[in-house]
Chain A
């Protein structure tokens, strides 16, 4: 970053020497022109050294890049201004757009200064004109040699010296040095520190989203210790409420919702587990780089992070991140549907973690940033190579231990049986096998050799059952033939077996399978919401005890990319669950022998019984127990056992034990997640069209603007883990900056980069670039600890200043970009609702669990409306626990600007609409809470003043002034007489307190942080 020295050109401008730094706000710029005629070019104040990044590129990007930027498809006249080589080369007409060192011979200056519609740039139809200052900047920059610089956000943060400041008393830590230094260059004096009451309120709201508890507040105010404030900071950082508040911030980034929207608003399976995961992660201060890895590739991390004390896999829950897209139940074109989901994932991933708008490079190279369309399709391939799955959120340590012992016993029982068998097989055995000759068909999976073929199991229950003992009492009744099975260790255990991807090439598919409340699913183009009217046939429920043929007609889907999923459990619509909510019946299981594709079956699948002689006698048993027996040998042993009444003492006890322990594995807490699929490289969709594909298949790799373009990921799987590691790499110039900027945004109301989700050229330039880098480096040096970084920020004096601006600040920096004072902020939607509950005494601080159903008013109607309404007060739970149904979003949350969950929103709008006032004035929820609050007040001793004081402390975190108590008395009197005149009755105290409490909820002081 270049230095900031300023040339004062005319003496009268010394008075306003704050003007014209490279960071001055737009508004201030406009004001300059209000007092300096634009024609007097020499009076325009420019920095000594023009910075390409901060002065020049924003001009070029805003005005020129659309036709002369990175996107080759719309480039005009072969001119490109984002690269020096292009911008300075001789053009066809012999001129140069930019002639370093000589603006007079630079066609660019000629064009942007011209008023001739034939010549001027930008052309008249763009309706854009460069300002005199912008032209002056360009001229000076060219005179200084026209140096291009790498874009600031794509080079690693650099540690600069913390600046010296004159007013040392305004400094707590480095943050203050950077901020105060800049204020001093503008001759601004930082505002004084705020009082303890408002400080505690501010701290409590920004860290936990709730008002301070009056007791904590009074303790802090009266705490004589010099570290009283730090103790309060630690108190709120350690509060469980902290994670709830910061999880909600994160949920804005990842378009969190409990449902999928679209026509029927189906549920996202167990989305709330992901919400709880976030709350735990923020509360436990999981390092941010770890959170990045988990959300992008938590299923692939070598050593997953375990929840304590339960021991459940936490990392994998993070991958629900991918599953929060919308979902359509019957898209006519599956590939278009898939491309829309993937587009959303690319959009949200790149904005959330890198503050880049990669989705803008879908149809053409990015118009402003160096993001070629191949970067988009590289990510596209990665997501296409990723499959959706269910993950068991509650599979804890206890269950893992049981599972391990069950598996051990499953193999050790064979030795036990061999040692304790009451009988021995004869030397010559006969095997009778029912042969299904499927060799003429397209074999998609054949498990009759004892393997899982090349299919991939997920969950805990799938294995090949070949040779497993069939037990009846102490009787060893036989051995299982080769087939995959989910019930070797018990029923109702989660398991899924997926085939490799293939192109559907036959009309039909036949499954030799059996099972109960379990499914065969043909997943086409990763499409999950399988159901009628179009897709119902892609799924078949297994309902048979014995292996039998199930067929699926796929004639409509020939040529599509698909894989098969054998899933224990089902998506049947139930009373207590919606469609597409996965349900695992404790009795569910499945088995399968083979799967084939065919156009027509010649008769049936050819079956005949083949008999062969097997020799070996008792050595066969040893072969079996060591797992080396062939399917034929097992059939032979099975035939012998079936006819020989062979007993094994203790076998019944063992089997019962297995079954009992197997039942203890049951766990029905599922969350949507992802797993690895086939390695698919995507072609580029030329101009975004699925019908116009490039022959080039883009390899998987990280964004080329930020990393070595030659380094592609390995040729297998999705490459998500490699991508995640690139994001979490300390060498990544964006990740730490983006996150500290988000934290700053939430603590100070505005990011150092105001466009928190866009660090690209079209985003805002940082107001304090050196500070941003300092914080990013410190963040990484502190092991990416979010809590430590937040503490560092709130310990600064800058966080603790009053909200009253100085007079000169209002003139010099009306937007308060330089943070002369702390900004006044309206509370977000969740905090307003939570604060209402907190002060009324009705806040239920129960953590975690399924979302509280939304309260349905008559205004919430349409398809997919939940069958049951939640309670008016959301059970008193915090807003983060209220259901986010995409098609039925809470009116109160929306009125106060909760974003609609479709993309990344790191920064919410702060709007001002009558529905906000109407909600607080007339909504039954607010009125009801006023009543509860009044009742609580009446439980306090009968002392009007003390009661008013308690109300002020609870709601506004301060002591009322004498005059305010007077006003309250007057109000009570007025209300009493009005009520009496209306109803001709004398009104009880409760009614009056209710009126007063209701009024308090409507005060601006209640919903603003002052």
Chain B
């Protein structure tokens, strides 16, 4: 076959080939895995039942937002401010074990919305959306250190190397978009402790791992061609394609090689689709303002962009999107000291953008099919670390969900009078994962992968769907 003939065969040369239906987060239908994935592509041919959510946006609050300073109002802390916690309750060892006195919240709380949810002054914008939120005040984790808690939150296991929730979702359901990865992490500036392994595919095939999108000129590594003009790269690709097809002809038959050829089509398209995604020129000024892109706080402006990007990814059918936090002029939500300043900076950077995202999704009708989750890896202690910080507390924290299938204005679970430990409806990370999968139409007990001789699940052998917060 000559070059001309080969090009004739594929009509317009490279880029003209119809894409095969893609499987998974990121891959090709003829993908072949030694791990015994069924050859039709996705693990589940279809969801187990009708899904409420098509996409998930996971707003990861890195470091552990203090529940008693945000969504879990505890008047008693004010009354007993400065008193010895050992006189009040059993105090468990903490990461720094520098246990101070009971510490009242530096912020006032008010009730909002029809549901009358208490929200602190840290989140004035999110407070205007409380009737969309299902607040869980009874979250518990198993790990008091960031890294394990992060792995646990992201993968359902406290150790490195397990597939993250976004990978599981795409392994189970695949992606609706053929030109973009199905699992995207929008890097706001802070990679969580535990590193990129929070977003990897573990023992699942590599195509299910997250693609990290960074703000800036090149959002994904190597997505920008280095040739001075597109047609120069295309001329290379034409030769590559032609040679590759003649190779397949020579072997007679080989799925893997053919799949690798298809892969170039996707890569080629990504070179266009990723810049198209990140170009916000088409967005109105009102929209940008809604998110806070016009803010003089560069962290808010940056996070606002990421939130808007999340909406654009949802529009493009991307299945799972996670946002990491901006790097403010204080640590992540991890105020071992200087609670007031640190939490305020972090809150200011995300509050308006998150509220803007909820409102924008709603006005476009996307909130009905998009689940938004706002969560950190654990909570903080009601007593001080040192003078004005709070240490890690895996025994109680607050998260919220909104959107697809979620009953807005719900408050679920309860902590003790100090917000230190859960006393009603303890809810585990596994329960959260089970619920997220449920909203996607997946029975968490039946999304498994055989590894190390076991059928492994995101929820291990645990997890119950939190039905009380669902519509």
Contacts and interface: CB of A to CB of B under 8 A. Distances in A.
A859 B221 CA distance: 7
Contacts of B195: 261, 265, 862-864, 886-888
Contact of B267 (A804, A902, A918): A918
A820 to B, nearest CB: 12
Give the interface SS of chain A, mostly helix, strand, loop or mixed. Answer: loop
A912 B31 contact: yes
Contacts of A359: 452
A533 B148 CA distance: 17
A995 B229 CA distance: 13
A803 B207 CA distance: 26
B148 A810 contact: no
The residue among B28, B194, B202 with the most chain A CB atoms within 10 A of its own CB is B194
A332 B144 contact: yes
B206 interface: yes
A903 B222 contact: no
A763 to B, nearest CB: 7
Contacts of A923: 221-222
A1005 interface: yes
B34 A754 contact: yes
Contacts, number: 249
Contacts of B416: none
A805 B253 contact: yes
Nearest to A343: B159
A653 interface: no
A372 to B, nearest CB: 16
B454 A912 contact: no
B462 to A, nearest CB: 12
Interface residues of A, number: 96
B239 A967 contact: yes
A1002 B240 contact: yes
A971 B97 contact: no
A970 B235 CA distance: 11
Contacts of B233: 921
A978 B34 contact: no
Given A556-B97, A804-B252, A912-B28, A975 B144 contact: no
A967 B251 contact: no
A261 B160 contact: yes
Contacts of B206: 894-895, 897, 909, 911, 913
Contacts of A763: 453
Contact of A912 (B212, B263, B452): B263
A922 B34 contact: no
Contact of A918 (B148, B207, B221, B454): B221
Interface stretch (B241-249, B350-358, B407-415, B430-438): B241-249
A391 B87 CA distance: 49
Interface in A977-1010: 978-979, 982-983, 995, 998-999, 1002-1005, 1007-1008, 1010
Interface stretch (B88-96, B104-112, B117-125, B419-427): B88-96
Contacts of B232: 975, 978-979, 982, 995
A1008 B257 contact: yes
Contact of B256 (A824, A922, A927): A824
Q: Which interface class (under 10, 10 to 19, 20 to 34, 35 or more) fits B?
A: 35 or more
Contacts of B270: 914, 918
B368 interface: no
Given A912-B263, A918-B270, A360 B236 contact: no
A975 B237 CA distance: 12
B452 A824 contact: no
A847 interface: no
B284 interface: no
A974 B235 contact: yes
A903 B451 CA distance: 11
Contact of B159 (A331, A755, A824, A902): A902
Contacts of B236: 975, 995, 998-999, 1002
B2 interface: yes
Contacts of B261: 1004
Contact of A1003 (B202, B212, B226, B243): B243
B115 interface: no
Contacts of A914: 26, 181, 263, 266-267, 270
A102 interface: no
A1004 B257 contact: yes
Given A263-B146, A910-B34, A921-B267, A824 B251 contact: yes
Contacts of B244: 1003-1005
B79 interface: no
Nearest to B94: A332
B34 A331 contact: no
B235 A887 contact: no
Interface in B158-174: 158-161
Contacts of A758: 452-453
Given A763-B453, A912-B27, A1003-B240, A328 B253 contact: no
A563 B376 CA distance: 37
B194 A262 contact: yes
Interface string A240-271: 00000000000000000000011101000000
B191 interface: yes
A863 B259 CA distance: 37
Interface string A909-945: 1111111111101111001000000000000000000
B145 A922 contact: no
Given A911-B33, A912-B207, A921-B222, A533 B96 contact: yes
Interface string B72-98: 000000000000000000000111111
B196 interface: yes
A913 B263 contact: yes
A357 B455 CA distance: 13
Contact of A909 (B33, B97, B187, B453): B33
A202 interface: no
B247 A917 contact: no
A918 B223 contact: yes
B11 interface: no
A225 interface: no
A864 B147 CA distance: 12
B272 interface: no
Given A859-B221, A918-B267, A1005 B159 contact: no
Given A357-B452, A862-B195, A922-B223, A533 B95 contact: yes
The residue among A369, A824, A864 with the most chain B CB atoms within 10 A of its own CB is A824
B161 A903 contact: yes
A574 interface: no
Interface string B145-161: 11110000000001111
Contacts of A1004: 243-244, 247, 257, 260-261
A535 B393 CA distance: 19
Nearest to B223: A918
A826 interface: yes
A857 to B, nearest CB: 6
B254 interface: yes
A923 B454 CA distance: 38
Contacts of B159: 326, 340, 344, 902
Contact of A328 (B147, B205, B242, B251): B147
Contact of B145 (A330, A864, A1005): A330
18 contacts: A261-B160, A262-B147, A262-B194, A330-B145, A332-B95, A340-B159, A368-B453, A891-B221, A902-B160, A909-B206, A911-B27, A911-B33, A913-B206, A914-B181, A921-B225, A982-B228, A998-B236, A1002-B240
Given A332-B392, A887-B195, A995-B236, 19 more contacts: A326-B160, A330-B145, A332-B145, A344-B159, A556-B97, A862-B195, A887-B196, A911-B33, A912-B27, A912-B207, A912-B262, A913-B26, A913-B206, A914-B263, A918-B271, A921-B264, A967-B243, A1003-B243, A1010-B251
Interface of B: 2-3, 26-28, 30-35, 93-98, 144-148, 158-161, 181, 187, 191-197, 200, 202, 205-207, 209, 211-212, 214, 220-226, 228-229, 231-233, 235-237, 239-240, 242-244, 247, 250-254, 256-257, 259-264, 266-268, 270-271, 392, 446, 450, 452-454
